[in-house]
A = this chain, B = another copy of it.
Amino acid sequence: MQILKDRIKKDGKIREGNVLKVDSFLNHQMDIALFAQIGQELKRRFADETITKILTIEASGIGIACIVAQYFEVPVVFAKKNKTKNIAGDVYTSSVESYTHGRSYDIMVSKEFLSADDNVLIIDDFLANGSALLGLAALVEHAGARLVGAGIVIEKGFQPGGQMLREKGLRIESLAIVDAMGPDGIVFR
């Protein structure tokens, strides 16, 4: 998606530890007009599919997922990272290994909101090692729902998540795949 790649080149900042900082438009400040274009593009790519629900993970996936959902006309469910008082009763859980924070954490979705009748599209801002996506896919599997695929804004193609999950048969549509980044800038696939 050229407009996204141009934006990453213009406003993305490369930081130590292979961090690509895009918090001026994607995951801290959010450019809603860009999100609408992301939604249109993901709708185009998944136009052949029946989708009944969009699943994402707090926090930075939520905004993108909600704008994208307008083009599919389906509800969004977000997986929570911490059990709060407001989730009573039965939940599906899975575990996510966080490379950013150096620990793993549980994610959960109420059983009320994912069922065997659902055709689920996962939406997230980043795909790197694939652990969040694996955790979300496990929630879908626990629910007996069908996982249609994943729509990702930025995939770090030099990290193993994308290849690992595609080899498992998951359909992943990444709107920008970064194959390398360094002093000479960002190289897209």
Contacts and interface: CB of A to CB of B under 8 A. Distances in A.
Interface of A: 15, 17, 19, 21, 23-25, 27-33, 35-36, 58-59, 62-63, 65-67, 69-70, 73-78, 80, 84-88, 100-101, 109-110, 112-113
A81 to B, nearest CB: 8
Contacts of A66: 30, 32, 35, 62-63, 66-67
B88 A59 contact: no
A63 B85 contact: no
A30 B84 contact: no
A70 to B, nearest CB: 6
A86 B24 CA distance: 11
A29 B87 CA distance: 12
| Identical chains bound together, number | 2
B19 A85 contact: yes
25 contacts: A17-B85, A19-B85, A23-B86, A23-B110, A25-B75, A27-B86, A28-B80, A28-B86, A28-B87, A28-B109, A29-B76, A30-B75, A30-B76, A32-B73, A32-B74, A36-B70, A58-B58, A58-B59, A59-B78, A59-B80, A62-B63, A63-B66, A63-B78, A67-B67, A85-B100
Contact of A100 (B63, B75, B84): B84
Contacts of A27: 86
B87 A23 contact: yes
B21 A88 contact: yes
Given A75-B32, A85-B19, A24 B112 contact: yes
Contacts of A87: 23, 28
Contacts of A76: 29-30, 32, 63
A97 to B, nearest CB: 16
Query: Which one of A21, A86, A101, A109 has the highest number of Cβ atoms from chain B below 10 Å of its Cβ?
Result: A86
